[in-house]
Amino acid sequence: MTESQKDLVKATVPVLRESGVALTSYFYNRMLSNNPELKETFNMGHQRSGAQAQALAGAVLAYAENIDDPSVLAPVIELIAHKHVSLNIQSPDYAIVGENLLHSISEVLSISMDDPLIEAWGVAYGQLADVFINAEKAIYEQHQQTKGSWLGWRSFKIAKKVQESSEITSFYLKPSDDGDLPTHQAGQYISVRVLVEELGLKQPRQYTLSDSPQQDYLRISVKREDEKGDLAGGWVSNTLHGLTEGAEIEVSAPTGNFFLFDKDRPNVLISGGVGLTPMISMLNHLASLDMPESVYFYHACRNGKVHAMKSHVQELNAKFPQLTHLVAYEFPETHDQLGQDYDIAGRLDLSALSDDQLPKDADYYLCGPMPFMAEQQKALVARGIPAENIHSEAFGTGGVKLSA
């Protein structure tokens, strides 16, 4: 890019801050109208809620703000590249996105496609697309070289369903072709794609694998998303809950850059709600290794009815003295028993824990709702935990990397 083109892109930053979501909403409506086949690539629930438009608006703004040195966005690019691979996004898709994005900028800002600003954004987008295409090519090649892995979608059957709480059900998935499975990293995720009858479309959704690597199945634990007031339920999640054992779904290969990094260090696993799924995967993996170092498992949820996999963690806690286990119920029910079902009444407050419960030489993993993770991140940094030792993952569109 020329310096004048960079200046033009940077000049759009105030507009993106003010009207970025309006622009990206217009873009998605335009693209999905012109290319309806992409409705089976993009999650329409995220379109309905506006989450996809908000995520893209944030990404476009970040790119414009860092156009002089896009390398600072490398961690975010890596995270999104894994998401794209999980959805089987290919290089030709970037041309479709680029064309619709540039036309959207032109139409929303009421400027000609011949305007120098459109040319500048065309060059900027082309460079960013190349970065993503190359990053994704490397991940695709890694899958090709991994025994048992695959590219794109593969048919799986639901071998078993297990109700874990009033909201969460585990699905044990086995390949329909009875073929091999790859050894994934504890904490990684898959995409599943199901036919949503209400839409008449196949719809994808990403779910973290909730068990340590197994030879003959993949397990996901899915929260049923009921309608609440004006908020609609989750199309994919609720479709899954309605499927019976033996039903077939489409699955992408395990991927993602949020996983257990070092089994030989103390590890602190902090989760909220259904965010416990990657933590259970990590915990089970460490248990399979007889927990070579201390492990701290801290979980927060509303009450005992929604507390998934409680008995499983309690059994591991009894088996491994090096496992410290704390549970916080924000709204305990009358049948919940303090000291047995949970340890803390109210929200999980890391500032109230002792130094022994938050070791400075440990790796920390966070997963759960965004406000929950932001609160725990802030508390850990305030306690002197190095920011580089704190790793986070968010469910939903695009994921997140929290900074100190």
Active site (catalytic) residues: 94, 136
276 phi, psi to nearest 5 deg: -75, -10
d(CA 137, CA 90): 9
Nearest to residue 294, comparing CAs of 326, 267, 327, 259?
267
First to last CA, the chain: 32
User: Taking Cα atoms as reference points, which of 164, 370, 363, 383 lies closest to residue 263?
Assistant: 363
Contact criterion met (CB below 8 Å) for 113 and 66: no
Contact 235, 203 (CB under 8 A): yes
Q: Give the whole-angstrom CA distance, residue 281 versus residue 367.
A: 12
Question: Can you state the percent helix, strand and coil of the chain, rounding each to 5?
Answer: 45, 20, 35
| Identity of the residue numbered 354 | S
